[in-house]
Chain A
């Protein structure tokens, strides 16, 4: 068998098979059911639809709905402007909300450090202010490793801030790994933009 396969693969050159799945969303509406989640904790507002699937390969045919509306991402910057709030001053160093990284690195460069110094000062003066540090990576390499790398980047930023006098409880670290790129190209310029920690007040 393996000899056979070997000879086959040495000779084969032109075989190309591609399969195209065409999404027809209108059909999918017939195949949903509501989420059945027996987990503890609060699931209200979980913006997902769990689908039924019978063991022999088909739906029971219950209808439900993938609701397009009402999805919140929970990550938007609080942009409510209050007069005199340095967080909403575009000329303040606090307007820098993204720290960028080199490939496979968690080192914060001097540009990032000066932005973080301004945030550290603000957070020290406003000890009730909390923020989320969200770590991201570029798409290269494996997804789960990148999820951990994104967390490590966010923690590097958190460590920098706490070393500058910010209280740990003001900070929450999250990672999205390579799952939430801001640039979708598969190029170095896109990767540079995606290797980041976002500061989310």
Chain B
């Protein structure tokens, strides 16, 4: 086991080194994937290192990116490269009897060809080892900076073909990093966006003051967030491509918890301008504001249902924080709040699954704050984690994973866990500082 771990580290460090060499002008983040165990019942799959048209190493080791993606999904366990019986080329012969001696049922082969002017031709195919038939075959023509993205798109195709569920590898995550110096004046808060595997980190905002609550627009082109750069909470909306930013809410009191409506036209958020924390909906183009809640208790953490016809939110109107739902129309509030959670004395920070059938939120269980799901039809509440200080849970765009922030040995890290429970979570952390408030992007347009 130790040997496996070391090999994996060595391999990944060399990957990282490559990454630094080639992407040094684009990003400032490195990754270490530390795999300390194997998935016993994940489906074995063979991903052969892609052939490369020139001498030396290809700019991106596409097969390694695909293998890491498939491993992280928890659904597949790619054979390690040194256990492959042969390394067939895209158009070469395949010795199927040798492949039948491996555990793999499917074989992925590909190539990268430099075609000049900084462009690359990437081809891959997947074969069923038992029938010898092609199940997938695709070709891409891209620049170097899009090679990793192509690898994630190939992972999505493989995932979709073999599980019949859409893959979520070609997605982004937004998160906040803070170097939590004891001296508040020395803290630096960073809002960043990275690929779903943590690579290609891009900084969106850096500040000496807290940054909170990043939220993706449904088209994936904007983030709304809360920044304290003027010494109080103000809601901003920022276009990722241009960096252009707009102040959305800087009313007296709290301006927080922005979330986009599914139609992309409205932001639900929490404002305390009228006395205490209430939920409002704002049309971002016109600034028209609709007040949704009206209660002396705290109402906050709104989240839209996927159909856009209701909001769920946290309220302590019954004494302790619980999740409520209220109907919403284009004109604003369209009903009375209905309580959804009854188990436990602390349920907060809820959001919907993409199919609208479940919620994920933070529940307090014996003094610990943990990720839980509630199946709306059956009212079945399942606690998914065993940690103490979980926060900010949300579903992946395909609804298969839940991403959340937690604390491990004094450090803020991100974890991802499968929706049905008990696997060890995958971990993402920064070398120096705490990472928190992850927000998984919607599917990206191709």
Q: Which residues of A contact B (CB under 8 A)?
A: 1-2, 4-28, 30-33, 35-41, 46-59, 61, 66, 71, 73-75, 139-145, 147-149, 151-152, 155, 173-177, 179-182, 184-186
Contacts and interface: CB of A to CB of B under 8 A. Distances in A.
Contacts of A20: 30-32, 34, 429-431
A66 B208 CA distance: 11
Contacts of A10: 422
23 contacts: A15-B39, A15-B424, A18-B426, A20-B34, A21-B428, A22-B30, A27-B28, A39-B247, A46-B229, A52-B241, A52-B242, A52-B243, A53-B193, A57-B146, A61-B25, A73-B184, A73-B231, A75-B231, A141-B348, A144-B213, A151-B276, A151-B277, A179-B210
Nearest to B272: A151
Interface residues of B, number: 116
A12 B41 contact: yes
Interface in B1-60: 20, 24-42
A144 B349 contact: yes
Given A53-B240, A59-B26, A144-B256, 7 more contacts: A15-B35, A27-B27, A31-B28, A39-B236, A39-B250, A58-B200, A142-B392
B298 interface: yes
A17 B41 CA distance: 16
Interface string B101-117: 00000000000000000
A145 B362 CA distance: 11
A42 to B, nearest CB: 9
A43 B177 CA distance: 23
Nearest to B145: A58
A174 B27 contact: no
B426 A57 contact: no
B348 A142 contact: yes
Interface string B405-425: 001001001000010111110
A145 B256 CA distance: 10
Contact of A38 (B39, B244, B316): B244
Contacts of B33: 17-19
B79 interface: no
Contacts of B301: 142, 144-145
B182 A184 contact: yes
Contacts of A46: 229-230
Contacts of B206: 48-49, 51, 66
B6 to A, nearest CB: 15
A48 B207 contact: yes
A18 B32 contact: yes
A54 to B, nearest CB: 5
Contacts of A61: 25-26
Contacts of A180: 184, 210
B67 interface: no
B392 A16 contact: no
B179 to A, nearest CB: 9
A157 B73 CA distance: 49
A143 B213 contact: yes
Contacts of A51: 202-206, 243
Contact of A32 (B72, B203, B207, B208): B203
B431 A148 contact: no
Contacts of B432: 23
B221 A16 contact: no
A13 B242 contact: no
B346 interface: yes
Contact of A148 (B41, B198, B270, B427): B270
Contacts of A176: 210, 228
A17 B185 contact: no
Contacts of A140: 369, 389
Contact of B241 (A55, A139, A149, A182): A55
Given A14-B424, A55-B221, A61-B25, A8 B42 contact: yes
A59 B349 CA distance: 33
B396 interface: no
Contacts of B41: 7-8, 11-12
A41 B163 CA distance: 52
Given A6-B420, A46-B229, A147-B254, A19 B429 contact: yes
Given A1-B163, A176-B210, A74 B27 contact: no
Contact of A152 (B72, B209, B246, B276): B276
Given A19-B428, A46-B229, A144-B270, A28 B203 contact: yes
Contacts of A58: 26, 145, 200, 202
Contacts of B240: 53-55
A7 B43 CA distance: 12
Given A21-B429, A24-B30, A73-B208, A50 B37 contact: no
Given A1-B165, A2-B420, A57-B146, A48 B205 contact: yes
Contacts of A6: 420
Given A71-B208, A73-B185, A148 B272 contact: yes
A24 B17 CA distance: 13
Interface string B312-336: 0010100001000000000000000
B299 to A, nearest CB: 8
Nearest to A30: B25
A13 to B, nearest CB: 7
Contacts of B202: 31, 51, 53, 57-59
B374 to A, nearest CB: 15
A17 B349 contact: no
Given A12-B424, A20-B429, A186-B389, A47 B244 contact: no
B197 to A, nearest CB: 7
* Best-buried of A20, A75, A176, A185 by chain B (most CB within 10 Å): A20
Contact of B34 (A2, A17, A23, A32): A17
